[in-house]
Amino acid sequence: MLATMSLMHDLNGEVEDASRPLPAVDPVVENCRRARQMPWTEENLPELRDILAHQGVDLGTALTVFMNGNPLKYNMTPRDDVPEKDRAACALLDAICQRVNCGFYLPDASRQMRDCRGFCQWVSGQQADARNGRRGRWCFNPVLVAPMIAEYRASGKRRCIVRDSSLFRKHVLPLFQG
């Protein structure tokens, strides 16, 4: 005698039990995934802006999206000198930087940056600019972005040193270094 089960084929041709409930997908996690993969085009900027304005978006997603926006292109360009076609993208980069610096995005260990190397180079460049008396348009508070940099440092790759204060180096940074 054959037992009857409610089975269905998925798109890959695998058989799944349709009687099991599908796991609920957290909309914030799904939006973060989409934002990380979304190309920076004029058509996508309103959706990126909307996703990144919601609570629950993590620091890794925000910084990944920031780096996807090619901030180096206009970092040293005065706000009024940015071409009209790129002003919306720069405004979104402004908003991301402001939210990061005010602590709106919190680190989430399960959602790290896709590639921390570029951001680590950004922070190193920001520090070099400060030593030379320059300041770019988008400067991050090193204390708030330390969890992203610490992950990169812990992997044993090129060191990115964040110098903010002795209190920070002595007490906060070791927490993120493992």
For the whole model, what pTM was predicted? Answer: 0.71
- Predicted confidence at residue 5, as pLDDT, reads 43
Q: Is the CB of residue 118 less than 8 Å from the CB of residue 124? A: no
Q: Is the CB of residue 137 less than 8 Å from the CB of residue 74? A: yes
**Alpha-carbon torsion, ordered 26, 55, 161, 71, to 10 deg:** 100
Digitized pLDDT (tens) for each residue of the chain, 178 residues in all: 444 444 444 444 555 555 666 566 788 899 999 999 999 999 999 999 999 999 999 999 999 999 999 999 999 999 899 999 999 999 999 999 999 999 999 998 888 887 788 888 888 898 899 899 999 999 999 888 888 876 555 444 444 444 544 555 566 666 666 5
Which residues pair with residue 8 across a beta bridge? 16
Q: Is the CB of residue 99 less than 8 Å from the CB of residue 138? A: no
- Predicted confidence at residue 172, as pLDDT, reads 63
- Predicted confidence at residue 1, as pLDDT, reads 44
Q: What does the block give as tokens for 137? A: 């348009």
Q: Is the CB of residue 119 less than 8 Å from the CB of residue 159? A: no
- Residue 158 is given by DSSP the state S
Q: What does the block give as tokens for 83? A: 């071409």
- Predicted confidence at residue 3, as pLDDT, reads 46
Task: Read off φ and ψ for residue 79, nearest 5 degrees.
Answer: -50, -40
- Predicted confidence at residue 19, as pLDDT, reads 61
Beta-sheet strands, E only, within 7-158:
7-9, 15-17
- Predicted confidence at residue 14, as pLDDT, reads 52
CA distances from residue 78 to 50, 55, 70 in whole angstroms, order as listed:
26, 30, 16
